[in-house]
Structure 1
Amino acid sequence: MPLSAPNSSLARPRLVLASNSPRRRQLLTDLGVAYEVRLREVAEDFPPHLVRAEVAEYLAAHKAAAYAPDLAPDELVLTADTIVCLEDDVLNKPADATEAVRMLQRLQGRAHDVYTGVCLLAGDGRRVVFSDQTRVHFRPLSLAEIEHYVTQYQPLDKAGAYGAQDWIGMVAVTRLEGSYFNVMGLPVHRVWEELEKLGAVGF
């Protein structure tokens, strides 16, 4: 006889996704997690002394703080920020196509690191901040390939000027060390684990 579902699910906090990223929305949907989207403008500046994972975690926590005053006691907001690091240089979203081409020229033929910082902030004050790292290896790319990608896919909303799920991911990424979904914008294995601890998901 199958076990009945626990009644504790009635007390689960309601998840708010504070992101306009279609990739993050799809990943949460694929996880089977119910959520609502709530958006507001938050500056993505960070202190210059921060490096790598510190930047991603700072930005995620900074975004969550902007939602804190309006969270209901039974709500839990999820914020995230993905950055691309070439050594210690942070490559955020390019300002225009020219900068996107320049970023991809720097990445081609080299390995770089992708960090996604995540903050889970509950309306009752509980807060978890973490990040995940994936090392991405690019094969050498021609200028024509780079310009084709930038022209056709307009990756101006993506850190490092590329999406691993796009054409360039199929032709350029030769190896990943870490989570592929982290490169897409959300380390779903860690997110699920932390949501379980907070009582937001489970069986």
Structure 2
Amino acid sequence: MRKSLGAVRRFYGANPLHLLSLIACFAFIGYLVSVIGPATLWNHDVWWQSIVVWFVAAVIAHDLVLFPLYALADRSLTAWPWARHGDRPRPGVPPLNYVRVPALGSGLLLLVFLPGIIEQGRSTYLAATGQTQAVFLDRWLLVTAVMFGLSALLFALRVSLSRTRSAPEPERAVEPPPGAAEER
């Protein structure tokens, strides 16, 4: 059994459970498409509003544009002077995740609330809620600033705690025991 699993892993390049989960996901997607019908995924009136077109555009935009951009940004963060000291990693608190986490949160909020931020569907939103979308951009910028500010505070706190823990204690003068001077 182990030999056959090893052979599958060498041939496939990953754990057989990975292949099984991919097959299950593709089967589920096939089932969904068969239930809702392929015609549902295509808008015959306005082709560019079709789910298929948006899905393909999202895959292309992510894989060909966004992924190289944020991979480059992450690579530049890891190559920054604080990340390395000579040939080895710099001791101390690495700031990498203190930049990554708020950037990820900000990017996800932008992705979710982009239609409101760019005021898409302005009249529909106004009719449904009686409010404008003018506050979306301001609130997204405020939340982004708060996330980066909290991350900076946590980083500063962690750096100060690591410095106090790793600071060498000053050498104390060794006092002779009482009566030792009299013995000389």
Normalized against structure 2, the TM-score is what? 0.18
The structure richer in helix per residue is: 2
Larger radius of gyration: 2
Q: What TM-score comes out, normalization by structure 1 length? A: 0.17
Asked which structure has the greater RCO (Cα within 8 Å, sep 6+), the reply is 1
